[in-house]
Amino acid sequence: MAPTIKVGDIIPEATFSYIPYSPELESGLVCGTPIKLDIHKDWKGKKVVLFAVPGAFTPTCHVNHLPPYLEKYSEFKAKGVDIIAVIAGNDPFVMSGWGRFSGLKDKILTLSDTDAEWSKKHGLGNASAEQRTGRYAMILDDLKVQYIDIETARGVAVSGADAVLNKL
């Protein structure tokens, strides 16, 4: 299935679950409570970088995809990015745990696209794994897609932090 979202489109509506960062989550015994993020309501008027990984804690995602976004956080902010978010098909507790383990704190939102439902609906799912998102990235400015690209080979290239920074 080809992606149905393209540059110039208004991002399709979506509501994702996530656990917002709080200092209490630093304890390994605190899980937090998932809340909903409505992208049309919460991202209106903002510049957002959204990138997707097939799964939290998976080798390429954990070692090569997420860390450069955190390392280059100040560069994204300097280019006017209000929000950086990572999305995967994992549940919000796994995504929160991954974010805490990775030291994201409140810098990068960890959003749950449960069973990759939204990603699959828009042609951004992982064809080889039914409940995983594909590996992709997009830049949104006031909900309008400014950049979108999907990895077609193994590894991180067009959805990586450097590629997205170059498009800002």
Instruction: Provide the annotated active-site residues.
Output: 61
According to the model, what pLDDT value does residue 81 have?
98
Q: Cα separation of 130 and 163, whole Å? A: 27
Compute the CA torsion angle 35, 114, 162, 58 (nearest 10 deg). Answer: 120
**Residue among 112, 103, 116 at smallest CA distance from 37:** 112
* pLDDT, averaged in runs of 10, over the chain (168 residues): 86 95 90 96 98 89 91 98 96 95 96 86 70 86 95 90 97
According to the model, what pLDDT value does residue 9 have?
95
The SS3 of residue 52 is strand
Q: Cα separation of 54 and 60, whole Å? A: 9
According to the model, what pLDDT value does residue 130 have?
63
Query: Domains along the chain?
Result: 15-23+30-167 (3.40.30.10)
According to the model, what pLDDT value does residue 69 have?
97
According to the model, what pLDDT value does residue 129 have?
58
Q: Report how far Cα 11 is from the mean position of its chain's Cα atoms.
A: 14
According to the model, what pLDDT value does residue 3 have?
80
What the block records as the tokens of 72 is 């280059």
Q: Cα separation of 146 and 126, whole Å? A: 22
Single pTM value for the model: 0.93
